[in-house]
Amino acid sequence: MNNFQQRVKNSTTQVTKLVFPHDTNHIGTLYGGTAMQWIDEVGFLVCTRFSRQKVVTVSIDRVDFKVPIPEGSIVELKGKVIRVGNTSMTALVQIFRENMFKGDQELAVTAEMVFVAVGGNNRPTQLSVHQTTDN
């Protein structure tokens, strides 16, 4: 495994949460804004771990809410790097809902987001890891 592949592997991030009443909307399921905050946090962790540079969110391309996540669910957020550019990288973040008593997981939300590495002036700066054959 080369340095690039190792970085991708090491940046894979998994966070487990419980959906409390204060995380829900008017119908007792996970509030979309809360889900997006969790997604942004996991995407940030993934891209920071991958680059080990200062990164900011530049775009959340698309968020698909496939099934509702009821209060009391366990949720697992899983994130990984799926594209690396010059200064930007894309993270895929998925939320799986898990039944507390049965344990089965179902994909509930997916999002793709782009982060940019920035320098001291908060302007884009070259990523220190690139997808080449010699690293």
Ligand X SMILES: CC(C)(COP(=O)(O)OP(=O)(O)OC[C@H]1O[C@@H](n2cnc3c(N)ncnc32)[C@H](O)[C@@H]1OP(=O)(O)O)[C@@H](O)C(=O)NCCC(=O)NCCS
**Binding positions for ligand X, rule: CB under 6 A:** 56-59, 85-88, 114, 116, 118, 122-124
Task: Decide whether 29 or 87 has the Cβ nearer to ligand X.
Answer: 87
Task: Decide whether 48 or 110 has the Cβ nearer to ligand X.
Answer: 48
Residue 14 CB, nearest distance to ligand X (Å)?
22
Best CA proximity match to 110, nearest among 71, 77, 72: 77
Task: Decide whether 68 or 85 has the Cβ nearer to ligand X.
Answer: 85
Residue 86 CB, nearest distance to ligand X (Å)?
4
Residue 4 CB, nearest distance to ligand X (Å)?
15
